[in-house]
């Protein structure tokens, strides 16, 4: 029997991407809660996994009525022993719930940029077979500190804290392994105002042209990580 996976979506243009493909391929049930439409939160007991997507807002945005309830739900899911995965904003929400600070990074990181495993990340079974350094997709201006008790997995030159894992089942990824060709175009279309000239902001045409080159390997790496979190035999 497959997993019951619930995902939280914060904006219309940042959905689960390749995570949906993986769920279908493995016979898992995937259901979304569109928080931006005011949809009600599920019962935490009705899910096995919680996946928290990205979004254009900050975790401290007081104008967002559902944010406090979402944070409370994430905490209850972690406390209940669920597998929890956060991407970009979702990773920042996990960090905040676990007591770490989230704050503006020294500069934005947008486009296809390299990251590298930390010494601790190289030892993690979850990341086995990942190259020491690889290029992945970014669209963020904030950064989180590593929560107490978590393991710092991945870093980049611009953003030193790119990923961590907590209790072997709570995974926070600042970057976007789940990106698909359509999701790259969607986020560009809806966030084009952020594409100013800066050292680590790629031009739109380069972002799109590089997607087909980097995306397949990124999706395979995500699939490998999800398989391991799900306990699938290797």
Residues 18-60 have pLDDT tens digits of: 999 999 999 999 999 999 999 999 999 999 999 999 999 999 9
pTM of the model: 0.97
Instruction: Give the number of domains in the chain.
Output: 1
Domain CATH for 100: 3.40.50.880
Domain carrying residue 207? 4-229
In a domain, 234, yes or no: no
**Half-sphere CA count of 134, side-chain side, radius 13 A:** 23
In a domain, 106, yes or no: yes
> What's the pLDDT tens digit per position in 183-198?
999 999 999 999 999 9
Smallest Cα–Cα separation from 183: which of 4, 14, 1, 8? 14
């Amino acid at each position: 029997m497959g997993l019951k996976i619930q995902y939280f979506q914060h904006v219309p243009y940042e959905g689960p991407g390749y995570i949906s493909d993986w769920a279908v391929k493995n016979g898992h049930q995937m259901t979304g809660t569109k928080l931006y439409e005011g949809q009600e939160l599920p019962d935490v007991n009705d899910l096995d996994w919680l996946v928290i997507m990205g979004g254009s807002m900050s975790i401290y945005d007081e104008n967002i009525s559902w944010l406090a309830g979402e944070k409370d739900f994430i905490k209850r899911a972690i406390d209940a022993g669920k597998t929890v995965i956060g991407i970009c904003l979702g990773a920042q929400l996990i960090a905040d719930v676990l007591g770490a600070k989230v704050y503006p990074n020294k500069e934005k990181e947008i486009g296809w940029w390299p990251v590298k495993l930390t010494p601790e990340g190289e030892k993690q079974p979850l990341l086995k077979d990942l190259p020491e350094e690889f290029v992945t997709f970014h669209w963020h201006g904030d950064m989180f500190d590593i929560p107490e008790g978590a393991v710092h997995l991945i870093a980049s030159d611009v953003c030193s804290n790119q990923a961590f894992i907590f209790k072997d089942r709570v995974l926070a990824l600042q970057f976007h392994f789940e990106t698909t060709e359509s999701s790259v175009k969607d986020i560009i279309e809806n966030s084009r105002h952020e594409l100013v000239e800066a050292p680590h902001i790629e031009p739109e045409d380069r972002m799109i042209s590089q997607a087909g080159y980097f995306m397949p390997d990124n999706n395979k790496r995500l699939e490998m990580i999800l398989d391991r979190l799900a306990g699938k035999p290797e």
